[in-house]
Structure 1
Amino acid sequence: NINKNCNHDVCVFRALEDWAGLGQVEDYLSVLEYLLWVFTPLAIVFILPFLIVILLYLSILFLHVYKRKNQLREAYCNNLWDGARKTLATLWDGHGAIWHGYEIHGMEKIPDKGPALIVYYHGAIPIDYYYFLASLTHTHTHTHAYSYNPIRYNWPHYIFCLPFFLLCEVFSVIHGPQEECVRALKNGHLLGISPGGVREALFSDETYPLLWGKRRGFAQVAIDSQVPVIPMFTQNLREGFRSLGNLRFYRWVYERFRFPAAPVYGGFPVKFRTFLGDPIPYDPNVNAAELAEKVQQAVQSLIDQHQQIPGNILRALLERFHSKVKDH
């Protein structure tokens, strides 16, 4: 009787197993186990070099910081914020050198002393200007570098009181109006302005059009301050980061509400080269419209000379790899 009951239970269990498809599940698990056993070594082969690359980049970044240790120590002995600026500039300098092989051509055109207005093309993220400020902090320690992006609306003053915007205070970021920009230049500082601002960041594309419209405020600032204007452009900036602002929905949101809602994608390690053009000297006989036209032509000339249009991400990546091999 016991044997009969056991056989009956086995039959019932097998019937349930067949009905539920448990036998097929076991087969699937066996196949997955086999695939895992086969591909685990292959996965390790690809993961370990990736981890080593990360460690190498972190090591190089540490060496960049260590290289600046004497400058940092001297800065902290003088002023707290000077030390903070030196530290952050060193980190950004290292990031630009490692990730984008960042270079500046024409730094000698920036005056060692005295004011100047730097007018630059605005990428989807103006990370090139961050790198430029980092280099400027090390080479032009006698002056502060201001950054001002003229847009059609003013940031609320309370925004600059938030903890995040402590960076604005440390790096002397101002948000206008024109009188404040003129005051900064007359005090002997450098001032950076992107006439395209948010519109150029969102709606410019791989053909690098200058979306300045009829903006002449930056030219009037230069005239009122009687300072030279230095054009600036960074090669492959749009291949590093791109915006989806040209999609109809995001353009409608910006045009309707003046809200920069378009997402940005990228972060590709393409080669960045910043080019500074010849300074445009102050001329009392030139009005704001004429000066704005001159500056726009100068920036456009830098784009035509140094940027292959339309920009291509793959080509920019290959150029970065080629520059690495050439350096070695």
Structure 2
Amino acid sequence: MLGPFVDLNIDYFRWIKWSITIILIPYILPAFIAIFFTLSSLYAYIYQIFSRNKAELNSSGQNTCGPWHIFLSRIWNAQARLWHGYEVEGLENIPADGPAIIVHYHGAVPIDVYYLIAKCITDLGRLLSVVSDRSLFKIPGWGPLLQFIKATPGGFDTCMGILNEGNILIIAPGGAYELQFSDSNYELKWKNRVGFAKLALAAKVPVIPMFTKNIREGYRNLTWGYRFRHWFYATTNLTFVPMYGFFPVKLKSYIGKPILYDGNKSPEMLAKQVAMSIEDIIKNHQRIPGSILHAFAERWLTSSQEKTE
């Protein structure tokens, strides 16, 4: 007589297990990236301890990448390739030497920037500096990694010094605002910011546009509470981004042609030209609005077809 009730209980617990899995997995997966960052930072900390030339950690001059950087970059390259089938098109547009500014669209998680840094270390032998949000420097345990890759919280004089030393600087004009309030329609959210353009004109360096296809499909923000989050950011200038993802979708970075220095351009003119270049890349390569299922198919079905051919 208990048979039907036992079956009902089993089905009920199966349903609970299925529901928990469906609900939690999208939020648990991003934790793996945080763990990956933390382990990489531990590696960077060990490097700081055992480096024979510790003065190199804070040295001035052109960024150099030795065996420690190459080893960690190969691990990042492997993770990027295995999980996202990550590729870069237009890597030749990044100069082999000399300063430049790479301007990119800011996804919910800018993992593509770190993938590009790793790719440039192994393929070009160049360590790129990146302007990172100040909040990242406050995350316990991440400091050694940010120092390891020469990340900076920004500032005009600091960035100018990096460029004057012959380095490449990666900047997202939209910053935390674009991170929080852009979506799968991939609209640039720069709020008329032209600081990077002023920097490029002052340093007389080229500006290179960059966009990564499906970056919003790999990692997404929750859409609820938009007005509250917008008010919270405007009031406190703090980032509050409930997100989910780390989906194994196809990621591909497109590096556009460099926009060379032109002293006749104003910062506003240069910023508009760079924005139009990124928008052209988005128009030519990104499905609008973005689709997680389509990006997933690009990663796995397209790759399988290419292998069979």
TM-score normalised per structure 1: 0.72
**Alignment counterpart, residue 145 of structure 1, candidates 128, 135, 142:** 128
Question: What does the per-residue CA deviation read over 1:270-320, in whole Å, with 9 as the maximum and x for residues that have no partner?
Answer: 111110111000011112111111111111111111111111111111121
Shift of 1:247: 2.7
Instruction: Output the amino acid matched with 1:104.
Output: V
5 Å-filtered alignment, 1:169-180, equals 169-180=147-158
1:114 aligns with 2:98: yes
Partner letter of residue 275 of structure 2?
Q
Cα distance in 2 for residues equivalent to 1:89 and 1:326: 28
Show the counterpart of 1:183: 161
- Post-superposition shift, 1:33? 10
1:326 to 296, 305, 308: 305
User: Where does residue 85 of structure 2 map in the other structure?
Assistant: 101
Asked if 1:165 corresponds to 2:143, the answer is yes
- Relative distance call for 1:284 and 1:268 in structure 2 (3 A) is same
Letter in 2 for 1:96: A
- Indicate if the aligned counterparts of 2:103 and 2:209 stay in contact, CA closer than 8 A: yes
Judged with a 3 Å threshold, the aligned counterparts in structure 2 of structure 1 residues 32 and 168 are, in CA distance, closer, same or farther, namely same
Give the count of matched residue pairs: 259
> How far apart are 1:199 and its partner, in Å?
0.7
Distance 1:246 1:203 in 2: 11
Are the structure 2 counterparts of residues 282 and 246 from structure 1 closer, same or farther at C-alpha, using a change threshold of 3 Å?
Answer: farther
For the Cα contact (< 8 Å) 1:240–1:270, is it kept in 2? Answer: yes
* Paired residues of 1:202 and 1:245 also in contact (CA < 8 A): no
2:47 aligned partner? none
Provide structure 2 residue ranges, at least 5 long, that are not aligned to the other structure.
15-50, 58-64
Distance in 1 (alpha carbons) for counterparts of 2:135 and 2:246? 26
Retained in 2: the 8 A contact 1:245–1:251? Answer: no
Quote the Cα distance in structure 1 between the aligned partners of 2:243 and 2:110. 12
Equivalent residue number for residue 275 of structure 1: 254
Cα shift at 1:26: 7.2
Q: Given that residues 203 and 245 in structure 1 are in contact (C-alpha distance below 8 angstroms), is that contact kept between their aligned partners in structure 2?
A: no
Query: Corresponding residue for 1:256?
Result: 235
Which protein has greater RCO, CA pairs closer than 8 Å, 6+ apart? 2
Percent of pairs identical after alignment?
37
Cα deviation, 1:139-186, whole Å, max 9, x if unaligned, reads 222x4211114x6xx5598x49x5421111110001121111111111
1:246 Cα offset (Å):
6.0
- Residue number among 67, 89, 93 corresponding to 1:83 in the alignment: 67
Moved more, 248-257 or 181-190: 248-257
1:5 is matched with none
| Aligned partner of 2:204 among 223, 226, 231 | 226
Matched ranges for 1:1-328 at <5 A = 28-29=5-6, 31=7, 82-141=66-125, 143-149=126-132, 159=138, 163-244=141-222, 247-248=225-226, 249-328=228-307
- In the other structure, the counterpart of 1:62 is none
Equivalent residue of 1:138, what SS? helix
- Label 1:33 to 1:276 Cα distance change in 2 as closer, same or farther (>3 A): closer
Following the alignment from structure 1 to structure 2, what is the Cα–Cα distance between the partners of residues 227 and 27?
75
**TM-superposed deviation, 1:77:** 10
Rounded to whole Å, the distance in 2 between the matches of 1:278 and 1:322 is 30
Q: Distance in 1 between matches of 2:4 and 2:269?
A: 78
| 1:99-136, Cα deviation, whole Å (9 max, x unpaired) | 11011000011111111110000000001111111101
CA contact (8 A) 1:240 1:268 kept: yes
How far apart in 2 are the matches of 1:268 and 1:82? 32
Secondary structure in 1 aligned to 2:66?
A: helix
Contact 1:202–1:244, Cα closer than 8 Å, also in 2: no
SS at 1:224's partner residue?
helix
